[in-house]
Amino acid sequence: MPGLKIASAFALLLTFAAAGPASAQPTRADGVLVQQRRPRIVIHPRTLEPGPNAKRYCRAWLAQEYRPSGTVIVPRRECWWQ
């Protein structure tokens, strides 16, 4: 029975040793640090100011909203510059 306890303790020790540290380390290949490539994202910002001849157009409607107290009709509006 003592041999069984030693064997199970040794197996438990190997399990924890194989898991390694929990911290995230950069990967290494042949002793050289390998950098992981990140995807390239290009952002094209919109102009925030309308031109000198721009007009504001709006569209309005009534919409149903389902609430715990019951269905209600609420006004909605969408506006944009052209």
pLDDT tens-digit map of 50-60? 888 999 999 99
CA distance 33 to 16: 26
Judge whether 72 lies within some domain.
Answer: yes
76's CB contacts (< 8 A; 6+ apart) are: 60, 61, 62, 63
Give the residue numbers spanning the domain of 66: 55-82
- What's the confidence (pLDDT) of residue 44? 80
Q: Which tokens belong to 82?
A: 């052209």
Judge whether 69 lies within some domain.
Answer: yes
Judge whether 65 lies within some domain.
Answer: yes
Judge whether 24 lies within some domain.
Answer: no
Judge whether 27 lies within some domain.
Answer: no
Judge whether 48 lies within some domain.
Answer: no
Judge whether 5 lies within some domain.
Answer: no
Apex 28 CA angle, 12 and 41, nearest 5: 120
Judge whether 12 lies within some domain.
Answer: no
- Backbone phi, then psi, for 16, in 5-degree steps? -70, -35
Q: Which tokens belong to 63?
A: 């919409």
Q: Higher-confidence residue: 61 or 22?
A: 61
Residue where the block lists tokens 């924890």: 16
Number of domains in the chain: 1
